[in-house]
Amino acid sequence: MKKLILLLTLSLLGLSAQAQDCSLTLSGVVFDNSPAYPLSYANIYIEELGEGTATDDNGRFELGGLCAGEYHLSVSHLGCHPERIFLDLRGDTTLQIALAHQAALLESVEVRGQQERNAGQSQETLTRQELEEGAGKNLANLLENIAGLSVIRNGSGIAKPVIHGLTGNRIAILNNGIIQAGQQWGVDHAPEIDPFTADRIKVIKGVESLAYGGNTLGGAVLVEPGNIPQDPHLHGATQYVLETNGRQHTVSTRLEKKGSWVDWRVIGTFKQGGDHRTPDYFLRNTGVRERNAALQLQKTINDHWFHTLYYSYFHTEVGILRGAHIANTTDLETAIGREEPFYTRPNFSYELEEPRQRVQHHLLKYNTKYYLAPNRSLQLTYAGQLNRREEFDVRRGDRSERAALDLALQSHFVDVFWQDEAGHATKKIGLQYRYNENDNQPGTGVFPLIPDYNSHLPAAYFIWQLQHDRQSYQLGARYDFVALDVATITQDLPRRVERFSHRFHNYSAAAGWQYRVSKAWSSKLNLGVVRRSPEVNELYSQGLHQGVASIEEGNASLQPELSVKGVWTNSLQLSESFWLEATAYYQLVSDFIYLEPQEEARLTIRGAFPVFGYQQTNARLAGLDVNARYEWNPHWQWQAQYAMVRGYDRSQEKPLVYIPSDRIQSEISWLGTSVGKLTEPKLTVGGRYVFEQTRLLASQDFLAPPPAYLLLDASVGGAISWSGNTLHLGVQFNNLLNERYRDYLNRLRYYADEEGRNIRVNVRLEF
Amino acid sequence: MSLHKFSVLAFLAVATVFFSCEDDEVVIPVVEELITNMTIVLTPQGGGDVVSLVFSDPDGDGAIAPTITGGTLAANTVYNATITLLNESETPVEDITEEIEAEQEEHQFFFATDGGLNLSVSYADQDADGNPLGLLTTCTSGASSSGNLVVILRHEPAKNAAGVKDGDITNAGGETDIEVAFPIVIQ
């Protein structure tokens, strides 16, 4: 699988502007990430003329006898998605086009002509092509194929990413550069982001994402819409995805244009799915309804002042397996012992009933960048977010229609930073201010699980990067002040409102070093320290968690946790055709916050419940991610990934819970040669083996972790191109053998099997 | 509109939102679904001492433990038992029994004994579908013994599943609304 990414801007050289000159030459070089790796047999095609050429052994191409005018170039490589470039040809022109192999040089993918200077960063990117192939999946599921990433789920519809064993409050999710301000209090709270709005998704596994702030102790996920292409014609794409399991339909459309006054892009997505199916039964109430929209506007003034306005709306309604709604420990024990869950129906249904969630998220972002000098700029960003989360339970009376949890969160964020990119060094200094206010909406008739609170978070940071010959360095530091004010309702009678204030000082620092030892070997080292203060749910949550039948209680005396993490990555190009990358990491967290079962169960009218309280311990996480790729020849490729992580409680000398088990995945692809209008033919067969999590004491869970499983996948795809339009067709088979299995990181594994076979039909029209 | 004007307006709009966020009053919710009190009144059919079994937990799921009052039954006696459920956290006190009666098809009480308690419970009422409900029961005591009477109320049970109509909870499913054990002595 070879994928191409347009990497650098085109450098236009030579100008001999003459209006009706039809003897112009377009030449250039296509290379793989750096001019040291020219790409041969890349296709250059001028859509308007229907003619093209291919690059030679040195990656060079030349097209002569061209008239001045506006053209769309399509640049592609074997088996790849062509990249389109708009070109206003006025004279002899030389282009430098950088296309990167998908795996080999992932970590240095960057658009917009910036030299990549993230020394020692350990990051991976999902390209636009991968996002298009995985269209219809939610954010976390898209990330699952990256080594070191796993997904913690609450059934098929709700999923959140796990990076190197850490999730939830410890990883930051950034939508368009802004920390997602959602209610991420539980495993059943998925990020409110439509992946169709992204041109790429980056995952930062280290701790160096200082500019983003927030809780990046475990890493960060960056969902990035790209810039609007500088093409004066209307372009866009419409995609339709049908998934047989859940009979889910997804439609998304994107339109974009460089306008005379403002450049714009709109994206709309609609998704509707019903009950998913295991090999043996339907998972009742596991459907989803989603509708999302996004608008992006860009305006350039005088070539040195840029404005971007971005608005996105996300709306989802998702069902939670009916058989997982249980009330007490007796119910839990009964449910765990069953072959198939209670309430299972023999028929498929699109119906959404209780328990279900309805979540809406608005993001408004304005960014302006002003160049003080060619290499020096000042940026101002404002982002406002509004998040409403309603959770509906099965209730007595007619109360099921009323949310049992109804939270409204508003967040405002201002960021000002100054950047200097002169020479080989980049300096960046920034100031930020964030305000969050979360209010329980009245009328639920239930005591709130999370109290009302507001927080003020001013911050300052600097980042310094230096590129020197074959080495690059990065150094950064950040300080965050956290002022948290909480209003809780007392447990004892009569009920009263009590207010608490917390003040925390958080700091983080990171240092990175990258060394290109030889053409074949590059090594990166990243070290970081992060201090994370406890979140409001860790301090003050109070109440019953449906689904696992336990009472969760916050601990107001928690102190910030301090983490030190080292990440070491080595990339080896062992031969022309064999590439290997290994990332090893080691992380120590002191005062690690976790949920611990309390000794005494609590007696209520619904029986006895175990009580879980937040405690602190000292933890250790360590692991290894390996990526390998081998190309027999341009038509046959193999790639594999392996990931392991170990989590250990050093104080109590026992394993940490919810640590992903080892996993290995591999796939073989055949890339065909284009025949006439049929391009990019491709066949892939792959598999994933997930080991049993054996590092857990029996006393640490209600049910022992499920056994290991092997899933097989296959896909076939291709595209048809005509006069600037491309129709992509793909069919993917997931869980081909209809394997019956359960996954340790799915909270619904107590009650039901995972989904069975799924066939995804993916149609995408680009115009 | 010039861009400068636009920027200023945008900033003003933002600032207005920003500084108008007041610290809202915190509303203490009325928990309508809460059952704080369950009383079972056992009246001997042939006359005699009326026994009341009481479960009381005014703070609901809160940390204060409930009080459970058991009772002493006469041996070899048939009692008519009536269950009353209250939510005392509301003013006026709400009678949850009415709510269960209104949704009788979706609820069913189950009764079990442990510790060798010699007491059998049979349903004395029916829902609209002719299935047992359990707000009214007949309790028959046997020889002297002691143990717990466990009272369970299930929401949305499978009333037609095997054994459920006879009071066997095994296949009932549903969610537990009540699960209380009353200590009983028969003498």
Q: Does B178 touch chain A (CB under 8 A)?
A: yes
The nearest CA of chain B is from the CA of A212 a distance in Å of: 21
Q: Is residue A489 within 8 Å of A495, Cβ to Cβ?
A: yes
| Mean pLDDT, residues A189-198 | 90
**Cβ of B59 under 8 Å from any chain A Cβ?**
yes
Question: What distance in Å separates the CA atoms of residue A419 and residue A377, rounded to the nearest whole number?
Answer: 5
CA distance A510 to A499: 36
- The rounded distance, in Å, linking the Cα atoms of A437 and B24 is 10
Query: Residue B151: its chain A contacts at CB < 8 A?
Result: none
- Residue A4 contacts residue A77 (beta carbons within 8 Å): yes
Residue B27 reports pLDDT greater than 60: yes
Our separate counts of H helices and E strands in chain B read: 2, 11
Confirm if B143 and B118 have CB atoms less than 8 A apart. Answer: yes
**Site of tokens 């064993």:** A165
Closest residue of chain B to A309, computed from CA coordinates? B10
A431 to chain B, closest Cα gap in Å: 18
The answer to which of A215-219, A260-264, A283-287 has the lowest mean pLDDT is A215-219
Distance from C-alpha of A60 to C-alpha of A37, rounded to nearest angstrom: 12
Q: How far is A294 from chain B (nearest CA, A)?
A: 19
User: B32 in contact with A at a CB cutoff of 8 Å?
Assistant: yes
pLDDT of B1 higher than 70? no
Separation in Å, CA of B82 to nearest CA in chain A? 18
Contact A442 B155 (CB under 8 A): no
What percent of the residues of chain A are helix, what percent strand, and what percent coil, each to the nearest 5?
Answer: 5, 55, 40
| Buried residues in A690-712 as b, exposed as e (16+ CB within 10 A) | bbebebbeeebeeeebbeebebe
Bridge partners, residue A579, by sequence: A573, A629
pLDDT of A707 > 60? The answer is yes
Residue A225 carries which side chain, given as an amino acid letter?
Answer: P
End-to-end Cα, chain B, rounded Å = 92
Q: Is A462 on the interface with B (CB under 8 A)?
A: no
Residues of A in contact with B31 (CB under 8 A): 445-447
Residue B108: C-alpha distances to residues B100, B101, B149, B174 (Å): 9, 10, 16, 10
pLDDT at A80: 57
Question: Does A448 sit within 8 Å of B29, measured CB to CB?
Answer: yes
Q: B27-36, B140-149, B158-167: lowest mean pLDDT where? A: B27-36
Band (pLDDT 50/70/90 cuts) for residue A740 is very high
- Of A307, A397, A607, Cβ closest to residue B179: A607
Residue A601 token pair: 């169960």
Smallest CA–CA distance, residue A61 to chain B, in Å, is 43
Give the integer Cα–Cα distance in Å for A453 and A498. 12
Contact B89, B38 (CB under 8 A): no
d(CA A462, CA A475): 8
Whole-number Å distance between alpha carbons of A169 and A160: 11
- What is the per-residue pLDDT for B10? 59
* Angstroms from A494 CA to nearest CA on chain B: 9
Q: What is the DSSP letter of A675?
A: B
Is omega for the bond preceding A355 within 30 degrees of 0, making it cis? yes
pLDDT of residue A340: 85
Q: Which helix (H) or strand (E) covers residue B33, if one does?
A: none
Q: State yes or no: pLDDT of A136 exceeds 90.
A: no
Q: Does the beta-carbon distance from A445 to B32 stay under 8 Å?
A: yes
Report the residue from A299, A334, A442 with minimal CB separation from B29: A442
What does the alpha-carbon distance between residue A52 and residue A73 come to, in Å, rounded to a whole number?
9
Q: Does residue A491 have a pLDDT over 90?
A: no
> What pLDDT, in 10s, does the model give residues A280-301?
999 999 999 999 999 999 998 8
Residue A232: strand, helix, or coil: coil
> What one-character-per-residue DSSP string does A2-28 give?
----B-SPPPPB-----TT---EEEEE
- For chain A, positions 472-491, list CB contacts with chain B under 8 A: 485, 487, 489, 491
Average pLDDT in the A111-139 region? 65
Q: What is the pLDDT of residue A1?
A: 34
The answer to whether the peptide bond before residue B58 is cis (omega within 30 degrees of 0) is no
* DSSP per-residue codes, A676-700: TTEEEEEEEEEEEEE-----S-GGG
Question: Could you say which of A331, A440, A604 has the minimum Cβ distance to residue B61?
Answer: A604
pLDDT per residue over A380-392, tens digit each?
Answer: 999 999 999 999 9
* Better pLDDT: A20 or A171: A171
Please give the torsion angle defined by the CA atoms of residues A626, A632, A636 and A638, in that order, rounded to the nearest 10 degrees: -10
Q: Would an 8 Å CB–CB cutoff place B7 in contact with chain A?
A: yes
Q: For residues A717 and A682, is the Cβ–Cβ distance under 8 A? A: yes
A633 C-beta neighbours (distance < 10 Å), count: 8
Residue B19: list chain A partners with CB under 8 A: none
pLDDT of residue A460: 94
Mean model confidence pLDDT for chain A:
86
Per-residue pLDDT of B37-84, as tens digits, reads 999 999 999 888 999 999 999 888 887 889 999 999 999 999 999 999
The whole-model pTM stands at 0.85
Which residues 587-646 on chain A approach chain B with CB closer than 8 angstroms? 602-607, 609
Q: Beta strand A276-277 with A282-283: parallel, antiparallel or unpaired?
A: antiparallel
Instruction: Measure the CA–CA gap between A628 and A582, rounded to whole angstroms.
Output: 9
The per-residue pLDDT for A7 is 33
How far is Cα A158 from Cα A138, in angstroms, rounded to an integer?
A: 8
In contact, A525 and A567? CB cutoff 8 Å = yes
| Residue given tokens 């699988």 in the structure block | A1
Is residue B88 within 8 angstroms of chain A, CB to CB? no
- pLDDT tens-place string over residues A614-641: 999 999 999 999 999 998 888 899 999 9
Q: Which of A192-196, A325-329, A491-495, B96-100 has the lowest mean pLDDT?
A: A325-329
**Closest residue in chain B to residue A413, using alpha carbons only:** B18
Nearest by CB to A442, which of B27, B33, B62?
Answer: B27
Indicate yes or no: CB of B21 within 8 angstroms of CB of A454. Answer: yes
Helices then strands, each counted (H, E), chain A: 4, 43
Segment 282-341 of chain A within 8 Å of chain B by CB: 299, 301, 307, 325-328, 330-331, 334
Give me the torsion for CA of B170, B173, B177, B182, rounded to 10°: 0
Taking CA atoms, A678 is separated from A79, A720, A728, in Å, by: 11, 5, 10
Neighbouring C-beta atoms of residue B95, cutoff 10 Å:
13
A421-435 per-position pLDDT tens digit: 887 888 999 999 999
Residues of A in contact with B60 (CB under 8 A): 447, 604
